[in-house]
Structure formats: C-alpha cells, structure tokens
Structure 1
C-alpha cells in the first residue's frame, strides 16, 4: 500500500507526499527497532533477576554448609585435644568414657561443605556474567567463586590427614568401640544398630594402647591443627558468602 502511494506520488511529482511517505517508513523502522530493544532489555532484566534470586538461594545453602562445617571442625579439634590431654592424665577420659572413645574414632573426620556453584557455572558457560549490571557486584561474585576454587586445592591434604590418622589408630579400639561413629548418623532403634556405653577401664585400656603408638600421638597433633585450619577457612568462606548475599540484597532489594 505504501509502495502504491509512493508510485503514484512519483508519477504526479507530488514531492511532499513522497517525503511524507518516506518519513512514515523511517519512523516505522525506528519504532520497530526501539520496541525490539525494549523487549530485549526487559528480557535481560528478567534474566538478571532470576540469576540474582538463584544466586541468593545458592549462597544461603553455602552459608548453612559452612556453618555445619565450622561446628564439626570445632568438635573434632576438641576431641583431638581431649585425647592428647588424656594421654597425660587418665582422669580426662574418665569424665565420659564413651564420649572419649567416640572422640578417638571421629577426631580426624572432616566435613567438606558441598557448595552450590551451578548458577555461576551456568552464567559462565552461557556468557551471561555481564548481565549483572553492577560492576563491583560482578567482581565480588567472581572473587567469591575464585576463593572457593582456591581452597578446594587442599582437599587432598584433608583426606590425607584423615586416612593417616585412621591407619595409625587401627587396632586401638574394639569393634564395638569403632561403631561409636554411628551416633552421629543414626538414632536409637535403627534396625541392626546397638550402641554400647563403656567404662573407665575401657578408656584406660585404649589409652595404654595409644601410648605405645608414637605415630598416632603425632597424628593427633596434626589432626588438631588441621581442624583448627578448617575452622579458619570455613569461617572465612561463610563471611564471604554472607557479604555477597548482603550485597545482592542491597543492590536488588528484597529479603532473600
């Protein structure tokens, strides 16, 4: 229809009509491009908001994981200290022989938090990192996940400390005492699990065997230091996660 009007205007040399038709066409193209740009911008903002919400969820999960890891590292370090103290003074083990023996079993156990990196990895793989408009926030997000990557390089040492200690203490406890680790994972009444309590004599017998194992005593000292290190690392990680979550909330609002 526009072409027909233009053709007629050219034939009649109605240059005003020609100019008007051209203006209409150009205006239509500009408006079309503008509508497309608005839709694209709105789509990007929607995508940005979804990423932010998912990142907030992931950070809340990370914070809970780090808090759990901190509590367990504190407990394990205390168990290692208790065993080392009992080597010098049996009365330390007599306060609660069953708990003391449980500490021998679990002192080197390490809980490695399972951090949620799915959202960030998706942003990287799809090239969507720049969709987070605030440059300082983008940098903070990248720094957080870079930190997680840097501390993961030491996981093999944590495993080594645990396996070395377990090898050093092999044979110190009876099979029934070895099952004390079950307390952390099951409740009374689980089929096939019968948890026992032990006496001061049981604790004294274990201590005598430990004193004959200098390698185990050295391993215990190593265990304590590593559990303290775990506390420091996971406290740092939790602080970073909380700071990033607070920054997301400050930038985008909401109570997530």
Structure 2
C-alpha cells in the first residue's frame, strides 16, 4: 500500500491539476487522502520510535539505580551489623556495672573489663545509612522509574527509617553526653588519658579497679543513671534489629529484580 501511495505522491503537480480539471474528483481525493495517511503514519512511527527510545533510556536508568541501591545496601548492612554488635556489648557492660554494686568481688575478678565498662557502657553508635541514590531519585521526582511497585514501596519504607530515627538519635546522643558528665571524677587523670587512646589496650590491676570502684560508689547520680543506659540501649537494639530485617528483605527484592533485568 505504501508503494501505491508513493506512486500517487510522484504524480506531477500539473498532472494532479489535470486530474481535477478533467473532472476526476475521486482520483484526486484518493491522492489527497493518501498524502494525509502517509503523514499520519509517519508521525505515528516517529512517536513510537521516540517512545521506544525513552522507555529504553528509562530501563537503562532503572537498572543503574537498582545497582546503586544494591551497593549502598551492602555497606549499610555492614554498618548496621557493627552497630548491633557494639550496642549488645555496651548493654553487657552496663549490666555488669549494675551487678558490681551488690557484688564487689566481680570488680577484682575482671579488673580491666570493669574499668573499660565504665568508659564504654554509655557510648552510642548510630549506623550510617547511605541514602544518596534514593534521595537523588526522589528529589528528581522519578521514583516511578522503579516499575516494581512492591520494590518501590520497600525502598520508601526502608529509607524512611533514617528520617523517623532522627529525633530518637538525638535522645541517644543526649544520654551519651549525660553519661560522660556523670562519670567525671571516677577515673584518675592518667586513666582518663589512657582511655582516650583507642590504639592502646591497657590492662588494669585489681588495686586500680578497687580504687575506681570506691570512687564510682560515691557517685550516686552515676549509679542511678546506669539503668537508663540499659533501657535506652535495649530500645536501640530493637530499632537496629528492625532496620536490619528491613535491609535484608530489601536486599532479596533487589536481587530478584536485578536477576530479572539481566534475563531481559
């Protein structure tokens, strides 16, 4: 049919005029309709090619972002697991300090652990959750680039954790700061300096531990604060376990989606 239209288009202008002059409107109308159809077909084909190109570009961009999400998630999982491990360690240290109040012999049995527990029990470690890819996609208004609705919802839920935890993280930092002030006076000057050097693992004698324990027992506000440290870190642990589960579930969804993309 296209060849037929081409032949009609190649009719000289004079001949076309002659067709009209010779009172042959049907043939002239056919020629005009053919011109219109060719133009419409050309436009439709051009639009289809343009749409296909745009979709192809979007699929390429989607795959790039999925890979970025996956890479960031691997780092985030490592940070979360580190935070979970440190948080558990600090709970154990705070619980140990609480037990020593009624069982002073524990101090002499674990002198170095006791000393370091006073230093580290109140520390907090907030996992760094990288969200660069998600924020870039969200700020550009292109979240719909992720076609899988289940995956898109999982991404939004996972990355909302950093926003929701912002206020709670502030509470953790506030508790850490209070702990820092309350423990002042428990260590000697040289012990404070030694504790500040993370590259030196110093062992403390039972005599040092006993003297430190006596100073700790005279700090009633510090002793009263220990249960709040444990309470806070238990809540933190639940929060970290939650985001860890979210991250693992998201990791599986991303893997399934990337595998599907690689098969296409």
TM-score (norm 2): 0.85
Q: 2-side partners of 1:114 and 1:37: how far apart?
A: 40
Q: 1-side partners of 2:176 and 2:139: how far apart?
A: 35
Aligned partner of 2:105 in structure 1 is: 91
**SS where residue 76 of structure 2 aligns?**
helix
Higher relative contact order (CA 8 A, sep 6+): 1
Structure 1 spans left out of the alignment, 5+ residues: 189-194
Determine if the alignment matches structure 1 residue 243 to structure 2 residue 246. no
Alignment of 1:57-206 (within 5 A): 57-182=71-196, 185-186=198-199, 196-206=202-212
TM-score (norm 1): 0.88
User: Cα distance, 1:236 vs. partner?
Assistant: 0.6
Q: 2-side partners of 1:30 and 1:208: how far apart?
A: 87
| Structure of higher CA gyration radius | 2
Q: 2:259 aligns with which of 245, 248, 253?
A: 253
Q: 1:9 to 1:126 in 2, by over 3 A?
A: farther
Deviation string 1:51-101 (CA, Å, 9 cap, x unpaired) is: 111111121111111101000000111111111111222221223312220
Q: 1-side partners of 2:253 and 2:245: how far apart?
A: 12
User: Cα distance, 1:102 vs. partner?
Assistant: 1.0
Q: 2-side partners of 1:64 and 1:100: how far apart?
A: 28
Q: 1-side partners of 2:13 and 2:240: how far apart?
A: 76
Contact 1:83 1:100 (8 Å CA) reproduced: yes
Structure 2 spans left out of the alignment, 5+ residues: 1-5, 20-26
**SS where residue 165 of structure 2 aligns?**
helix
Determine if the alignment matches structure 1 residue 56 to structure 2 residue 42. no
User: Cα distance, 1:103 vs. partner?
Assistant: 1.0
User: Cα distance, 1:17 vs. partner?
Assistant: 3.9
Aligned partner of 2:219 in structure 1 is: 213
Contact 1:148 1:237 (8 Å CA) reproduced: no
Q: 1-side partners of 2:98 and 2:75: how far apart?
A: 35
Determine if the alignment matches structure 1 residue 39 to structure 2 residue 45. no
User: Cα distance, 1:182 vs. partner?
Assistant: 4.5
Q: How many residues in Structure 1 have an aligned counterpart in Structure 2?
A: 248
